[in-house]
Chains A and B, each alone.
Chain A
Amino acid sequence: KNEVEQSPQNLTAQEGEFITINCSYSVGISALHWLQQHPGGGIVSLFMLSSGKKKHGRLIATINIQEKHSSLHITASHPRDSAVYICAGKNYGGSQGNLIFGKGTKLSVKP
């Protein structure tokens, strides 16, 4: 049983479209990460958030701890945004070091 669910699993968009990727979790989360994995395999952290909303360039992440849901939005999508996006939660009340991952959303942005 995967305690962190992402949707959709795969997403194809046209350049310029607004994109939303969702992350829902069944356990209490005290912090949530959004990660980007490039086609070459490298992983970078996009956001870490425990409440509200964060914005970085064309990327926006929101979280609602009570509803156990987070979203990652990409405005004016571009082919270079093509990657796998992964959410990961830090268990609330659990071990400080434990992270639970979603299986990822593969995004492809066509020119």
Chain B
Amino acid sequence: EAQVTQNPRYLITVTGKKLTVTCSQNMNHEYMSWYRQDPGLGLRQIYYSMNVEVTDKGDVPEGYKVSRKEKRNFPLILESPSPNQTSLYFCASSLSSGTGGAGGTQYFGPGTRLLVL
């Protein structure tokens, strides 16, 4: 089954304790992206990757890191989480066809709900 998986689905942590949220897709998609969703602010893009070893900042990259060593995986790293990073996080992927990159149909993971105390 074609899918995007995220782990963990729920996480409670404390300020400053490094954490990684994994994202994996089995559709051989070139493009992958991370978003956060907050009440009243909607979805905002954190980082994206056009292909292996190619990453770029979205609109809210501060406090986050990413890497794309393999095509299927795009982990999101919070080196020193703070309470303002409490949010619902989504990973998505798409083929870079047609208009390319973010222009392809987006496939979303199920979301990771993070609480930073």
Residues of chain A at the chain B interface (Cβ within 8 Å): 30-31, 33, 35, 41-45, 48, 50, 86, 88, 90, 95-104
- Determine if B21 is an interface residue (Cβ-Cβ < 8 Å): no
Q: Which of A45, A90, A101 lies in contact with B43, CB distance below 8 A?
A: A101
Chain A residues whose C-beta falls within 8 Å of the C-beta of B100 in the assembled complex: 96
A31 and B103: CB pair below 8 A?
yes
Chain A residues whose C-beta falls within 8 Å of the C-beta of B110 in the assembled complex: 41-42
- Cα of A73 to Cα of B92 in the assembled complex, Å: 25
Q: How many A-B residue pairs have CB under 8 A?
A: 77
A102-B42 contact, Cβ under 8 Å, with A42-B108, A97-B49:
yes
- Cα of A71 to Cα of B1 in the assembled complex, Å: 31
Shortest Cβ distance from residue A51 to the other chain B in the assembled complex, whole angstroms: 11
- Determine if B52 is an interface residue (Cβ-Cβ < 8 Å): no
Shortest Cβ distance from residue B23 to the other chain A in the assembled complex, whole angstroms: 14
A31 and B99: CB pair below 8 A?
yes
Chain A residues whose C-beta falls within 8 Å of the C-beta of B111 in the assembled complex: 41-43
B33 and A99: CB pair below 8 A?
yes
B50 and A96: CB pair below 8 A?
yes
B103 and A98: CB pair below 8 A?
no
Beyond contacts A48-B103, A96-B102: 13 other A-B pairs, Cβ-Cβ < 8 A, are A31-B103, A42-B111, A44-B108, A45-B107, A50-B99, A86-B43, A95-B56, A97-B33, A97-B50, A97-B56, A99-B33, A101-B43, A103-B41
Nearest neighbor of B41 in chain A, beta-carbon distance: A103
- Interface residues of B, count at CB 8 A: 32
B42 and A98: CB pair below 8 A?
no
A30 and B103: CB pair below 8 A?
yes
- Cα of A71 to Cα of B31 in the assembled complex, Å: 26
A50-B108 contact, Cβ under 8 Å, with A97-B33, A97-B50, A99-B45:
no
Chain A residues whose C-beta falls within 8 Å of the C-beta of B41 in the assembled complex: 103
Specify which of A33, A99, A103 lies most central, judged by the most chain B CB atoms within 10 Å of its CB: A99
A90 and B40: CB pair below 8 A?
no
- Determine if B44 is an interface residue (Cβ-Cβ < 8 Å): yes
B50 and A45: CB pair below 8 A?
no
